[in-house]
Chain A
Amino acid sequence: MTVQERAALRLQERPRREASLWRDAWRRLVRNRAAVLGLVVVALLIAVAITAPYIAPAHYAAGDAADEHTVPSWLAAVLPGNVAAYAKINNKFLLGSDFLGRDLLSRIIYGTRVSLPVGFMGALTALIIGLVYGCISGYYGGRIDDIMMRIVDILYAFPTMLLIILLMAFFKTSFGGTPVPGTPAYTFNQINKAVDSILGLRGGGMLFIFMGIGLTAWMGMARLARGQILSVKEKEFIEASRMIGASDMRIILRHIFPNIIGPCVVAETLAIPGYINYEVFLSFIGLGVDPPTPSWGNLISEGAQALRSYPHLVIFPALALSITMFAFNFLGDGLRDALDPRMRGTS
Chain B
Amino acid sequence: MTQYIIRRLLWLIPVLFFISVVTFALLRAVPGGPFDREKPMPPEVRANLEHYYGLDKPLPQQYLDWVGRIVLHFDFGPSYSSRSRTVNDIFAAHLPVSAQLGVLAILLALLIGLPLGILAALKQNTIWDYLGMGIAVFGVSVPNIVLAPLLILIFALTLGWLPVAGWGTPEKMIMPVVALGMRESAIIARLTRASMLQVIREDYIRTARAKGLAERVVMVRHALKNAFIPVATVLGPMFAALTTGTFVVERIFAIPGLGKFFVTSITNRDYPVVMGTILLYAVFLVLANLAVDITYAFLDPRIRYK
Which of B29, B190, B195, B244 has its CB near the most chain A CB atoms (within 10 A)? B244
Instruction: Closest B residue to A161 by CB, please name it.
Output: B244
Answer yes or no: B47 CB below 8 A from chain A CBs. Answer: no
Determine whether the beta carbon of B281 is less than 8 Å from that of A162. Answer: yes
CA distance A153 to B19 in the complex (A): 12
CB of B151, distance to nearest CB on chain A (Å): 11
For chain A residues 271-319, which have a beta carbon within 8 Å of chain B?
A: 273, 277, 280-281, 284-285, 287, 297, 300, 303-304, 307-308, 311, 314-315, 318
Determine whether the beta carbon of A325 is less than 8 Å from that of B193. Answer: no
**Interface majority SS on B: helix, strand, loop or mixed?**
helix
CA distance A30 to B127 in the complex (A): 24
Answer yes or no: A46 CB below 8 A from chain B CBs. Answer: no
What number of residue pairs across chains A and B have CB atoms under 8 A from each other? Answer: 123
A-chain residues with CB within 8 Å of residue B285 when the two chains form the complex? 156-157, 159
CA distance A347 to B266 in the complex (A): 36
Q: How large is the interface on A (under 10, 10 to 19, 20 to 34, 35 or more residues)?
A: 35 or more
CA distance A158 to B282 in the complex (A): 6
Instruction: Closest A residue to B280 by CB, please name it.
Output: A159
* A157-B285, A166-B274, A284-B248 known; A347-B191 Cβ under 8 A: yes
Determine whether the beta carbon of A162 is less than 8 Å from that of B262. Answer: yes
B-chain residues with CB within 8 Å of residue A157 when the two chains form the complex? 15, 19, 282, 285-286
Answer yes or no: A142 CB below 8 A from chain B CBs. Answer: no
Looking at B82-90, B95-103, B142-150, B209-217, the stretch in contact with chain A turns out to be B142-150
CA distance A154 to B21 in the complex (A): 12
Determine whether the beta carbon of B146 is less than 8 Å from that of A161. Answer: no
Answer yes or no: A174 CB below 8 A from chain B CBs. Answer: yes
* A162-B281, A170-B29 known; A345-B247 Cβ under 8 A: no
Looking at B61-69, B106-114, B152-160, the stretch in contact with chain A turns out to be B152-160
> Interface code A318-347, partner B: CB below 8 Å = 1, 0 otherwise?
100110011001100000000000000111
Instruction: Closest B residue to A177 by CB, please name it.
Output: B31
B-chain residues with CB within 8 Å of residue A307 when the two chains form the complex? 149, 152-153, 157
Instruction: Closest B residue to A164 by CB, please name it.
Output: B244
CA distance A318 to B22 in the complex (A): 35
Determine whether the beta carbon of B240 is less than 8 Å from that of A173. Answer: no
> Interface code B7-34, partner A: CB below 8 Å = 1, 0 otherwise?
0000000110011001100110111100
> Interface code B157-195, partner A: CB below 8 Å = 1, 0 otherwise?
110000000000000000000000000000000110111
* A161-B247, A174-B29, A345-B197 known; A169-B266 Cβ under 8 A: yes
Instruction: Closest A residue to B28 by CB, please name it.
Output: A170
Determine whether the beta carbon of B15 is less than 8 Å from that of A154. Answer: yes
Other A-B contacts than A158-B278, A322-B143, 5 sampled, CB-CB below 8 A, are A273-B141, A281-B145, A314-B149, A329-B140, A345-B194
CB-defined A-B contacts under 8 Å, sample of 21: A153-B15, A154-B19, A158-B278, A159-B285, A161-B244, A166-B266, A169-B267, A277-B143, A285-B263, A300-B149, A307-B149, A308-B157, A311-B153, A315-B153, A318-B145, A318-B146, A318-B149, A322-B142, A329-B137, A345-B197, A346-B194
Residues of B within 8 A of A (CB): 14-15, 18-19, 22-23, 26-27, 29-32, 137, 140-143, 145-146, 149-150, 152-153, 157-158, 190-191, 193-195, 197-198, 240-241, 244-245, 247-248, 251-252, 262-263, 266-267, 274, 277-278, 281-282, 284-286
Top 3 A-B pairs, shortest CB-CB distance? A159-B281, A346-B194, A325-B141
Residues of A within 8 A of B (CB): 80, 153-154, 156-163, 165-167, 169-170, 173-174, 273, 277, 280-281, 284-285, 287, 297, 300, 303-304, 307-308, 311, 314-315, 318, 321-322, 325-326, 329-330, 345-347
